[in-house]
Amino acid sequence: MNNKNKSCLTTIPVFIATFLIAFSTSVLAENKPEPIKVGVMLPFSGVYAGLGDSIRNGLKLALQEKGYKASGRLIQLVEVDTEAKPARASELTLGLVDNDKSDFVIGPVHSGVAMGMINTIRNKDSIMIIPNAGANAATGAFCQPNVFRTSFSSWQTAYPMGKEAANMGYKKIVTLSWNYGFGKESLAAFEESFVAAGGEVVKKILVPFPKTEFQPYLTQIASIKPDAVFVFFAGGGAVKFVKDYDTMGLKGKIPLLGSGFLTEGTTAAQGKAAEGLLTTLHYADTIDSSKNKKFRADYKAKFNKSADLFAVQGYDAGQLIIQAVEAVKGNIEDKAALIYQMELLEIDSPRGKFRFSKAHNPIQSIYLRKVVNGLNTVVKESVTNLEDPARGCKL
């Protein structure tokens, strides 16, 4: 045998071995399920950056508890910053849905961004999970089979406070918020129950979003001298408003009430100015359940800060994805079956267990809370299992 033939014989086994390895790797790859892609569309800059950060932390905590896996499929996150700008909603949603092929899109915080996302995601295969934005229409007139919310409607968070305010004996109230959808809906929901209980809104003040120069409005309130003031502000705006209210000497004179966002995730920065404030929300730091205590302890250990409602809503978005994927045994490609299973789920939330309404909004209890030593403390359950009226939803 010449040298050329010998070298041919030694290369054949090497070739076969290489072929077998390549073949088995590709078969394995074929059997390995595709990762589940989750687009995360939140504000990581701007006045709502703190809220976006808490939601992302909560989401990560829920996914980490399951090793970032559901039904054997890996869960991958793709993050984008909305900057809380409605004008960017459509372009960012299309990027996550069409380019990144996200199975789920979690977001946003701001109601205006939510409406842009919903318009873009309708008729797409991705499932949108809203972990904050409260626009009533999201689970009302614009409800969609592929849109779920783990947070609240504007109506749910403000309606109970109208009745509470009347029970406290207030007759004439000034309402105030940023001038955009969520703020206006919060004031309307408050007014609905306050007026029904015999109260009167003597002045409604709207401040351009996201402006935080509140002094002229506070001067106006001081001259009106109402029995109390009801407001919606959140994030950096809530910190500034509560401090200004105190600094201008109104706190001791005219009681300040709010939907709970006024003191949610903000009390450390608001300091003594927040002490004693009363708000209504579907969460309180001191909810006395083992689920809430464990959640708060785990969150603190992982992120070295206290959990808030926004973290709860992100955590529940993560729980929802895991439970939904497990309910369809990983076969999320059958969207109708996936949505059907999501509608049946019960979420064991730190806020208390909840189910979804027909319009895909949580049916949940609302707490009256008081800030005590920087904590949003339960005063009482104001309404048990409050369901949003879902006005205009045809699901």
Q: Which is nearer to ligand BEZ, 71 or 306 (CB)?
A: 306
**Shortest approach of ligand BEZ to residue 234 CB, angstroms?**
4
Reply yes or no: is the peptide bond before residue 108 cis, omega within 30 of 0. Answer: yes
Q: Which is nearer to ligand BEZ, 103 or 308 (CB)?
A: 308
Reply yes or no: is the peptide bond before residue 350 cis, omega within 30 of 0. Answer: no
DSSP output for 295-306: HHHHHHHHHSS-
Q: Which is nearer to ligand BEZ, 199 or 236 (CB)?
A: 236
159 lies in the site for ligand BEZ, by CB under 6 A: no
Cβ pair 354, 57 in contact under 8 A: no
**Shortest approach of ligand BEZ to residue 111 CB, angstroms?**
4
Q: What's the one-letter identity of residue 306?
A: S
230 lies in the site for ligand BEZ, by CB under 6 A: no
Cβ pair 99, 355 in contact under 8 A: no
182 lies in the site for ligand BEZ, by CB under 6 A: yes
Cα separation, 392 vs 304, in Å, equals 43
Q: What share of the chain is helix, strand, coil (3-state, %, to 5)?
A: 45, 20, 30
Using CB under 6 A, count the residues that bind ligand BEZ: 12
Q: Which is nearer to ligand BEZ, 101 or 391 (CB)?
A: 391
- Which residues, including other chains, have CB under 8 Å from residue 144's CB and lie 6 or more apart? 118, 121, 122, 128, 395
**Shortest approach of ligand BEZ to residue 178 CB, angstroms?**
9
Reply yes or no: is the peptide bond before residue 210 cis, omega within 30 of 0. Answer: yes
**Shortest approach of ligand BEZ to residue 333 CB, angstroms?**
31
Q: Which is nearer to ligand BEZ, 73 or 369 (CB)?
A: 369
Cβ pair 340, 328 in contact under 8 A: no
Work out the number of other CB atoms within 10 angstroms of the CB of residue 28: 9
Q: Which is nearer to ligand BEZ, 51 or 92 (CB)?
A: 51
184 lies in the site for ligand BEZ, by CB under 6 A: no
Q: Which is nearer to ligand BEZ, 49 or 273 (CB)?
A: 49
133 lies in the site for ligand BEZ, by CB under 6 A: yes
Q: Which is nearer to ligand BEZ, 95 or 210 (CB)?
A: 210
Of 75-83, 103-111, 218-226, 383-391, which part binds ligand BEZ (CB under 6 A)? Answer: 103-111
Of 25-33, 127-135, 163-171, 294-302, which part binds ligand BEZ (CB under 6 A)? Answer: 127-135
Look at the block and give the residue holding tokens 């049946």: 344
Of 70-78, 131-139, 222-230, 387-395, which part binds ligand BEZ (CB under 6 A)? Answer: 131-139
Cα separation, 316 vs 322, in Å, equals 10
**Shortest approach of ligand BEZ to residue 143 CB, angstroms?**
16
**Shortest approach of ligand BEZ to residue 113 CB, angstroms?**
8
**Shortest approach of ligand BEZ to residue 43 CB, angstroms?**
9
- For helices 335-344 and 309-327, the axis angle rounded to 10 degrees is 120
Q: Which is nearer to ligand BEZ, 135 or 332 (CB)?
A: 135
Strands 362-372 and 352-356: antiparallel
Cβ pair 214, 238 in contact under 8 A: no
Of 106-114, 159-167, 216-224, 326-334, which part binds ligand BEZ (CB under 6 A)? Answer: 106-114
- Nearest C-alpha neighbor of 145 from the set 292, 288, 337, 1: 337
Cβ pair 377, 285 in contact under 8 A: yes
**Shortest approach of ligand BEZ to residue 271 CB, angstroms?**
21
110 lies in the site for ligand BEZ, by CB under 6 A: yes
Interface with ligand BEZ in residues 18-57 (CB under 6 A)? 48, 51
- Nearest C-alpha neighbor of 235 from the set 377, 388, 42: 42
Instruction: Select from 57, 93, 102, 111 the one that contacts ligand BEZ (CB under 6 A).
Output: 111
Interface with ligand BEZ in residues 258-287 (CB under 6 A)? 261
- Nearest C-alpha neighbor of 265 from the set 57, 42, 63: 57
* Token duo for residue 42: 């939140």
**Shortest approach of ligand BEZ to residue 319 CB, angstroms?**
20
DSSP output for 168-189: TT--EEEEEEESSHHHHHHHHH
Residues near ligand BEZ, by CB under 6 A: 48, 51, 109-111, 132-135, 182, 234, 261
